[in-house]
A = this chain, B = another copy of it.
Amino acid sequence: MVFEHNCAQCNARINSVFSSIDQDGLKVLNEHKSCTTFKKGQVIFSENGLPLGLFCVHSGKIKLATTGPDGKEQILRLVKGGDILGYRALISGDRYHCNAIALEDSSVCVVDKNYFLKIALEDKKLCQAIFKKISDDLKTAEEHIVSLSQKNVRERVAEALLFFKATYGFEQDNQTLSVQLSREEIADFVGTSTESAIRLLSEFNNDKIIELTGKKIKILNPDKLTKTANLLY
């Protein structure tokens, strides 16, 4: 089923780099995009592929992951509605260095490559928003580097849970992470073995910091989790 979302009515757009575009602009943008849906697990684009357009997430959750030297997956970014996807390769004139895979059923629009590159340079507010988006992603990546370099696995697993919270938020109960990742995916984000991720999650579960129910993770004690993550704030 292919929904054709209209940019003018798109809720996700409000939080996106396209938030400042006016009604006329939205009409044109809408004519230069098409919509696709991806089932959970489906590949949106893959490593070494050539970017043909800019992906703009309408709804759903997507992971950006690359394959390490020994074939192990590394999750680099987590993406949600309103986020743009595949901009790095597009802007660099590069091939993708990541796979984009739907974590749940997702609805994604593709903006024509040349049109996007044109308006990105013409529309100052859009340009500014893209600058900010890349800069923020760079900051996030560099924080990940510090964490991987200097924290132990326990701290990193705790930090990851808080990161998932910051990215996707909670469900209605205000406690349960609204993203469901496998233990292996958590490990692939944290930079550890699946077994270690499992062990530490069980430990947090035993310590009543979190509550595990299948893939659902409820954060019972955010303060203790923050301390466990060795975060100051």
Contacts and interface: CB of A to CB of B under 8 A. Distances in A.
A11 B97 CA distance: 32
Given A132-B91, A138-B137, A138-B138, A148 B191 contact: yes
Contacts of A132: 91-93
Interface stretch (A23-31, A38-46, A63-71, A170-178): A63-71
Given A141-B145, A145-B145, A135 B66 contact: no
Contacts of A144: 145
B68 A138 contact: no
A131 B74 contact: no
Best-buried of A74, A130, A138, A232 by chain B (most CB within 10 Å) = A138
A9 interface: no
Interface stretch (A107-115, A120-128, A212-220): A120-128
B121 A127 contact: yes
A72 B139 contact: no
B127 A68 contact: no
Contacts of A135: 87-88, 91-92, 94, 134
A-B pairs, 6 with minimum CB distance: A149-B191, A68-B150, A148-B148, A141-B141, A92-B135, A134-B134
15 contacts: A69-B146, A69-B155, A69-B232, A70-B150, A72-B150, A74-B145, A74-B150, A88-B138, A91-B132, A91-B135, A92-B135, A97-B142, A98-B142, A145-B148, A150-B191
Interface of A: 66, 68-70, 72, 74, 76, 87-88, 91-94, 97-98, 120-121, 124, 127-128, 130-132, 134-139, 141-142, 144-146, 148-151, 155, 191, 230-232
